[in-house]
Amino acid sequence: MPRMTKQQKIEARAKRMNMLRKALAIVTKGVCPACGTKLYRNNSMSGWWQCGHVGAEGFQREAGPHCHFSFFYDPTPEEHSELLAEKREPEATVQAYRVTTKIPYHNYVKTFTDLGEMQAWVYHGTGVTLPTTPEAAFLGKHKTPRNEGEVIVEAVRQ
């Protein structure tokens, strides 16, 4: 496999965190998004969750119409605590994040609702690596690597 660039790594990580975020939301609800049946862990593989209606007749956790829904929620301990920290933030009041870049060759104001997308855009345009969580770590001013300017991240709330 070819070595990934730093930006590719950031994007791959943002993608994975997004996937885990969606899976955690389903795990938290505890019901199959396809048919509404309770979800169960399949302990034959770590992090494997299945709808109670998965399986052939007689082998389902709950008897009923067949359903195929199964997914994985298998974060590392670090990823898991990062996701839990996100959940504690007052997400409902944050509408978006506004990024202002004040660098001689890069002066933009751009608004993001997706943190991973914001992180990738900032890194690509300015070389600044923004942490994605906690909020306190990415809000505020960030100096560029060679000190020629700064990136300012503000929360847009209502």
* Residues at the site binding Zn ion, with contacts judged by CB under 5 A: 32, 34-35, 37, 51, 53, 67, 69
In SS3 terms, 86-152 reads as: HHHCCHHHEEEEEEEEEECCEEEEEEECCHHHHHHHHHHHHCCCCCCCCHHHHCEEEECCCCCCEEE
Residues 6 or more apart in contact with residue 109 via CB below 8 angstroms: 98, 99, 100, 101
Radius of gyration from C-alpha coordinates of the chain:
20
Instruction: Give the nearest distance from C-beta 61 to Zn ion in angstroms.
Output: 11
Instruction: Give the nearest distance from C-beta 35 to Zn ion in angstroms.
Output: 3
Nearer residue to Zn ion within complex by CB, 53 or 142? 53
Nearer residue to Zn ion within complex by CB, 67 or 120? 67
Instruction: Give the nearest distance from C-beta 122 to Zn ion in angstroms.
Output: 39
Q: State how far the Cα of 69 lies from the Cα of 130, in Å rounded to an integer.
A: 35
Nearer residue to Zn ion within complex by CB, 50 or 126? 50
Instruction: Give the nearest distance from C-beta 91 to Zn ion in angstroms.
Output: 27
Instruction: Give the nearest distance from C-beta 58 to Zn ion in angstroms.
Output: 17
Nearer residue to Zn ion within complex by CB, 20 or 51? 51
Residues 121, 126, 129, 131: is their CA dihedral positive or negative? negative
Report whether 79 contacts 124 (CB < 8 A): no
